[in-house]
Structures are given as structure tokens and as C-alpha cells.
Structure 1
Amino acid sequence: MPTAYAIQSMRNAFLALLILGSLTTACKKSGGADAVDPRDQYVGVYDGDYKSTIYINNSLQASDPEAGKIQITVSKAQAANQIYLELLFNSTTKQTVTAELVDATYTVIDKQSESLAFGGKTYDAAYTAQGQFVVQDKSITLNTKAETLQLGVTLTKRGDITGVKK
């Protein structure tokens, strides 16, 4: 009875396709409404330290480093790949910046200049900042640079910030 065998074979193939189809449609698609926001692992308050030093021509330290305590509050921005960093220096001076996040690293995108005081004068300096989260250590780092060229001399203010999540 070749016909009975063919019908049974087609029935098994149909059942296999039906089961396979139901399994693939039952799985969630990546990026769906229930997807986890990767920024959630970084959101929170970090306590740490900062140090800022001014250099002449990127090599000669111009003064003693300024150092102190910092509290960093990380929150989600409107754009899916951005975060806000609220920096509170020595419990007195507050600054909020927006950063673009790529995996665990970020770059400050909304601050292009910073004042740099040197030799009794204040200069407007080009500002850049990059940082990184270390999930295993629950820590954050931020490295900043403000730089200006004045009368053939490069003045650079470098800042290093580290913190640990509360």
C-alpha cells in the first residue's frame, strides 16, 4: 500500500512544519517591547574622587593638582543610546552633561568648552571627555581634557574621575 505510506509521510511532514512554525512564532523577537534597556545596568549614584591638573605644552605640570570628592548620578536620556551624568564636586558645584553610550564606553556630547584659569587669567578652552563603566566592579571612570593655545603655548587641563556605585 504505497498510498497509505505516502499519506502517513505527508501527515508527518505537515505535523513537523506545524510544530516548527508554532515554535518560531512563539519566540520573542529581539528588540521587541520587552527588550532590556542596556543603560539600566549603569543607572544609579556613584561616589568617588576627582583630580585635575594643568600642563604647559602637555608635559610640564603648571601647578599642584586640584583634588576632591565627587558624586556622579547616572540617568537615562531621551535618546536610546544616551545618558545624563550629573557631577557634584565636593558637595557644592554641580554640572550635568549628556553622553553618548556605545557598549560600556561613553563620550560627552553636549559640552564643547570649559574655562581654564592660569597665570591670573581665564581662557576659553576646547573640551572633550570620555569614560567607561566596569559592570563587574560597579565602577565608572571619566577622563576630561580642556585645551587652548595661547601665544604659542598649549595649556591643557586634564581631569580624572573615578567612582563606585552605591
Structure 2
Amino acid sequence: MTPASGVTKGDIHMRTNRIARTAAVALFGLGSLGVFAGTAQAEPIDYVKIELLQLTCHQQSEGDHDEAYLNITDANGNQIKVWPGNGISYQTMGPGYVRGMTDGNGNTALILGREQARTLTLWDKDTFGGDDKLGATLVTGNEVGAETQYRSLEGSGGVYTIAYRVIDI
């Protein structure tokens, strides 16, 4: 186009950029294209991982033992079982029992952003009726690099201590 038609080279350049942005949004499903718009990109998320270490029972919640398992609340609010791992549904726990929890560490639900938090919830599996909540604790990604954390979990008459670390990945 020539300047005589009323369209300048600047107009053509702006239209070309707008067409490129629209095509990229349609092609890649991108809602915001800082690359084309010249705006700064968001910082990438720095990920950390909750490393489960051990669970100690001080008092069981029922009868002669509990059937304990641990869930984590994922980023979408879903409960995901993380311990015990390897297809085992629970670990028998009674006063003085100490169980290693490292078999649950392969679960990707234990990965979170440094600025995020997750809830670990200990449960007692019941054959009939709903499972009993034995306690919960909030773990934040900014605990990364700290020493081993020990948190008390209490509920339904049970008293437990969970040990974990938050590590950089």
C-alpha cells in the first residue's frame, strides 16, 4: 500500500503484529503473550519437595492398634494418599511404634512451589463407616532448607508425631 491510500507503513506494522498475536493465541491457546506485547514474563515457579521421614505413635485411637495412612491435599484441593507407598493401604500403629515413611516419597503430589502450602492428614482406616482423622498439619514450601520438622498430630484419641523435611529440587 502506498501513502496515497491513507495507510502508512506504521499502520501495516501494527496490523501485522496484531495478526501475529491473534494467530499465536489461536494456535497455542495462549491468553497473554508478553513476548509479542513487549511485557515482562512471569518468574518461573521454584519447586520444592516434602520428604517424609517417619511417623511415631504415642497413643492409638482405638482398640489395640490403628491402621494409619497419610494423605496430602494437592493444588486442586484433592486428597491424595502418599503413605504408605508400594500399593500398601495402611500401616499398623500402636504406642511406641515408629515407621519409616520414605516409601511414600516417590509420589509427585509431594512437590509444591516454594510459595505454596499443602496439608498432610493422617487417617485411621476403618472397615465399616468413615475413616477417622488422626490429625493434620500445614506444610509450606518456604520451609525449604530447614532442619527436620516434627509436628504433633492429634485426633480421634490418637497422638502421633510426623517427621519430614522440605528439600529443594
Larger Cα Rg: Structure 1 or Structure 2? Answer: 1
Which structure has more relative contact order (CA 8 Å, sep 6+)? It is 2
Settle same-fold status: TM greater than 0.5.
no
More strand by share: 1
